[in-house]
């Protein structure tokens, strides 16, 4: 039986249209999901939309639309992003679905039964933009630490006994060193928890757009308890009889999030789960934030980067490559059109595209469009080239398991660079007259290297890899990672290539 692998994106608020930040988080998950599938895991890749809470209710009100109609409309934009960016998610959860509401009510009852929720009264600050409560001591110049406006809230509320979980959380972080990654985020969370935890308000009464608290219709659940529970809902937590999927996929292998929501995932979520006697996810990875040409991205500044426009302008694999190659995952990054264009022209058009173009063209021109047969013997420089990826598969696995996407790409580009150098050094155009059989061996070795590179690049650039693997006639069942070790079948007829990555002027 295959090993299972469960990966999630945050579920996105439907108060707004998707932007580059949403595309970035989901892209990182798509790459891991595709990699794991090619590496023989049974993958469940979940994304979706967060449709309750005051922020969404207000956005609907501003448009004079009923919340239900509003969320139906906006959540479509997030679904469209999946196609646009070529995301391979297995499920799309919406928090207004019955399966999710049932699952929220189930976990609530469990928390009540286990004695971790009690009724009280909340009075304090609340930031609608962050959907978060703040202590007086956290307020800076009358605002939340994120800069979001806050309002004073006084209302009856149920509380979760978060204060009791401080030591258990700290021991858990200690015993599970990679639970919070990268390390800088781990330190941040540990010092927050060491600072002491207050019981958390987990219901609201001043508005109604949310999941009803079981047995108390005046309250709706706090939107973060509702939202986090999506990770359970999607693998059938609420369905008593049909729990194979839950047994198979829970706990999740990784929740991918932006650094803005680490506290909810690394403090509240494990505490809720422990209190409900449920196993904890294996890892929370918090990536950094993009700015736009040096400025914070915000609607009011009018500098939101629209992923649909970006893909339209530059192409989907170009955008996917740039986002993952430009910035070490976990760090903040600055988006700039000129950098994107540089990357496309130098790494994609000049290096990878050019390698494919010149090798296939030479085969067509010199070998009558037939790929030469596998060589009978190899020189050291041939083996260096054709074995470099084969011998490094465990390194690539390590890089994916540690979210080092830029390093993965850098390593592949070293092989691409070596292949281009091999072309120049072996000079097949002069071998054509001096040693035809050596020219055939050289061209075979190059195509074999291109085959391996394209298999390994599938998670990052699925369309390009498919085009290349189709072009050189690698069968579908031979595109799996175990096939890296199978040598390329020579003797196949191929056609002249068209440029893979047109240069952007």
Least distance from C-beta 288 to ligand ME8, angstroms? 7
User: Quick one: 156 or 258, whose CB is closer to ligand ME8?
Assistant: 258
**C-beta nearest to ligand ME8: residue:** 21
Rounded least distance, CB 53 to ligand ME8, Å: 8
Query: Do the Cβ atoms of 43 and 36 come closer than 8 Å?
Result: yes
Nearer to ligand ME8, 230 or 465 (CB): 230
CA distance 488 to 296: 48
Closest CA to 285 of 259, 251, 305, 317: 259
Nearest to 338 by CA among 288, 405, 291, 293: 293
21 or 210: CB nearest ligand ME8: 21
**Backbone torsions φ then ψ of 90, nearest 5 degrees:** -95, -20
Residues in the chain: 505
Q: How far is the CB of 441 from ligand ME8 (least distance, A)?
A: 47
Which residues pair with residue 213 across a beta bridge? 216
Q: Which is nearer to ligand ME8, 139 or 297 (CB)?
A: 297
Which of 497, 79, 6, 393 is CA-nearest to residue 232?
6
Helix axes 20-38, 316-326, angle to 10 degrees: 90
Least distance from ligand ME8 to the Cβ atom of residue 261, Å = 4
Compute the least distance from the CB of residue 287 to ligand ME8, in Å: 7
Distance CA 222, CA 387 (A): 54
CB closer to ligand ME8, 10 vs 459? 10
Residues that bind ligand ME8 (CB under 6 A): 10-13, 21-22, 24-25, 50, 227-228, 230, 257-258, 260-261, 289-290, 297
Compute the least distance from the CB of residue 59 to ligand ME8, in Å: 11
- Two structure tokens written together for 270: 């494990």
Three-class secondary structure assignment of 140-188: ECCECCCCCECEEEEEEEEEECHHHHHHHHHHHHHHCCCCEECHHHHHH
Nearer Cβ to ligand ME8 (13/488)? 13
To ligand ME8, the closest distance from the beta carbon of 35 in angstroms equals: 20
DSSP classification of residue 133: E
Could you tell me if 335 and 304 are in contact, meaning their C-beta atoms sit under 8 angstroms apart? no
- Measured from the CB atom, the residue of 230 and 420 that comes closer to ligand ME8 is 230
Q: How far is the CB of 477 from ligand ME8 (least distance, A)?
A: 35
Cα–Cα distance for residue pair 32/55, rounded to 1 Å = 31
Nearer to ligand ME8, 78 or 481 (CB): 78
């Amino acid at each position: 039986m295959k090993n299972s692998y469960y990966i999630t994106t945050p579920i996105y608020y439907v108060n707004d249209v998707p932007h580059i930040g949403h595309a970035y988080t989901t892209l990182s998950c798509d790459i891991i999901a595709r990699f794991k599938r090619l590496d023989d895991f049974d993958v469940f890749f979940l994304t979706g939309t967060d449709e309750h809470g005051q922020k969404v209710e207000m956005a609907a009100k501003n448009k004079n639309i009923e919340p239900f109609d509003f969320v139906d409309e906006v959540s479509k934009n997030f679904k469209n992003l999946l196609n646009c960016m070529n995301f391979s998610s297995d499920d799309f959860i919406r928090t207004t679905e019955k399966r999710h509401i049932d699952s929220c009510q189930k976990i609530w009852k469990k928390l009540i039964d286990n004695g971790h929720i009690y009724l009280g009264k909340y009075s304090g600050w609340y930031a609608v933009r962050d959907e978060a409560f703040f202590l007086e001591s956290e307020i800076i110049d009358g605002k939340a630490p994120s800069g979001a406006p806050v309002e004073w809230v006084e209302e009856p509320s149920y509380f979760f006994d978060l204060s009791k979980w401080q030591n258990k959380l700290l021991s858990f972080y200690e015993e599970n060193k990679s639970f919070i990654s990268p390390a800088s985020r781990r330190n941040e969370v540990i010092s927050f928890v060491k600072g002491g935890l207050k019981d958390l308000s987990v219901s609201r009464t001043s508005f109604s757009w949310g999941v009803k608290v079981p047995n108390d219709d005046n309250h709706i659940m706090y939107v973060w308890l509702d939202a986090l529970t999506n990770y359970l809902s999607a693998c059938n937590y609420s369905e008593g009889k049909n729990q194979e999927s839950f047994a198979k996929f829970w706990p999740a292998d990784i929740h991918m999030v932006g650094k803005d929501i680490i506290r909810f995932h690394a403090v509240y979520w494990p505490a809720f789960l422990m209190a409900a006697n449920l196993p904890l996810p294996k890892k929370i990875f918090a990536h950094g934030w993009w700015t736009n040409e040096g400025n914070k991205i915000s609607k009011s500044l009018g500098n939101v980067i629209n992923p649909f426009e970006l893909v339209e302008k530059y192409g989907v694999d170009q955008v996917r490559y740039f986002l993952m190659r430009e910035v070490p995952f976990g760090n903040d990054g600055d988006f700039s059109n000129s950098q994107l264009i540089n990357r496309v022209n130098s790494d994609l058009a000049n290096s990878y595209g050019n390698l494919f173009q010149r090798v296939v063209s030479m085969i067509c021109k010199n070998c009558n469009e037939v790929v030469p047969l596998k060589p009978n013997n190899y020189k050291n420089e041939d083996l260096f080239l054709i074995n470099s990826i084969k011998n490094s598969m465990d390194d690539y696995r390590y890089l994916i398991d540690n979210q080092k996407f830029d390093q993965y790409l850098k390593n592949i580009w070293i092989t691409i660079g070596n292949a281009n150098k091999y072309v120049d050094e072996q000079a097949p155009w002069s071998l054509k007259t001096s040693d035809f059989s050596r020219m055939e061996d050289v061209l075979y070795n190059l195509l074999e290297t291109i085959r391996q590179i394209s298999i390994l690049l599938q998670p990052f650039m699925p369309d390009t890899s498919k085009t290349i693997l189709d072009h050189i006639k690698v069968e579908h069942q031979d595109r799996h990672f175990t096939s890296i070790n199978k040598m390329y079948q020579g003797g196949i007829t191929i056609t002249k290539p068209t440029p893979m990555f047109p240069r952007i002027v």
